[in-house]
Amino acid sequence: MLRAAKDLVDAELDSKRMWRALRALRESLPSDRPLSSVRVMADGDRVVVRERNRSWDPETGQTIMEFPVETLTNKVAPLVLESAVLAKSRASTGDEWFDLGLEFDQIGARDDACAAYREALALDSGHVNARINLGRLLHNDRAYRQAEELYREALRIDPANSIAAFNLGVVLEDQGALQEAMETYRHALTVDPSIPDVHYNIARLYEHQGDQQSARHHFSRFRALRSQRDDLT
């Protein structure tokens, strides 16, 4: 842990976040596995763990989708940007603007993606996925209240949307509303009990409350579901 911490300190990561992430990682790994069995690194202002073909955020348990960013930017971004003017002139529905937002999102054009998602919502106020994706981008920018509102609106429209419920739980945690986050994670599990990340986050909250039995149960479910996912990939 100290070796991993030194590398993160060298990367000038926030010390509180660093130790919180390392403790969460230590708790999520089986007792017979050392931290040296995974690669721990800084990605911007967060800690990322890499293991074989998978990367995840140890604080949330969320799997991180990795794209070859340099290749993607060099080869795809110019094509997307070149067609953006034409696409904007032709987009006339919420779904078309949402699709355009996804294209911008995938190449890291954050401002253009936000604008496209907002246009989708202006044309279709009930577009759940546009709300979730816009909320995620704002959440990443630490605009927590705005992201929370978007996730809540998405859930009001579609109460059975497990992604909106999970994201709402995370943003509530980020704001320190742990009990409400717990309730939101429970709702996500009633919708879809097979999401590993929800089990991981709710396990951490149970542990924080001192309910070790419930924490162990959800950590166990997290490991089992993650193992199933790894086997499929």
Which range (55-59, 95-99, 204-208) has the least confidence?
55-59
Output the six-digit token pair for 74: 């060099």
**pLDDT band at residue 49 using 50, 70 and 90 as cut-offs:** confident
The answer to whether residues 79 and 61 touch, using CB atoms and an 8 Å cutoff, is no
Q: What residue type is 185 in one-letter code?
A: Y
Distance CA 183, CA 156 (A): 16
Query: What average pLDDT does the segment 94-120 reach?
Result: 87
Which element (helix H / strand E) includes 42?
Answer: strand 39-43
The answer to whether residues 152 and 145 touch, using CB atoms and an 8 Å cutoff, is no
Q: Does residue 71 surpass a pLDDT of 90?
A: no
pLDDT at 52: 54
Q: Where does residue 61 fall: left (phi above 0), alpha (psi -120 to 50 degrees), or beta otherwise?
A: left
Q: What secondary structure letter does DSSP report for 24? A: H
Output the six-digit token pair for 121: 């919502």
Distance CA 77, CA 83 (A): 10
Which element (helix H / strand E) includes 100?
Answer: helix 94-106
Query: What average pLDDT does the segment 30-50 reach?
Result: 65
Distance CA 149, CA 12 (A): 32
The answer to whether residues 157 and 135 touch, using CB atoms and an 8 Å cutoff, is no
Q: CA distances (Å), 2 to each of 13, 26, 62, 169, in order?
A: 14, 12, 24, 30
Residue count of the chain, please give it. 233
C-alpha triplet 31, 176, 14: angle, nearest 5°: 65
Q: Does residue 67 surpass a pLDDT of 60?
A: no
Q: Does residue 132 surpass a pLDDT of 80?
A: yes
Output the six-digit token pair for 38: 């995974």
Distance CA 190, CA 104 (A): 33
Q: Does residue 216 surpass a pLDDT of 70?
A: yes
pTM, rounded to two decimals: 0.66
Question: pLDDT: is 200 or 28 the higher one?
Answer: 200
Q: Does residue 167 surpass a pLDDT of 70?
A: yes
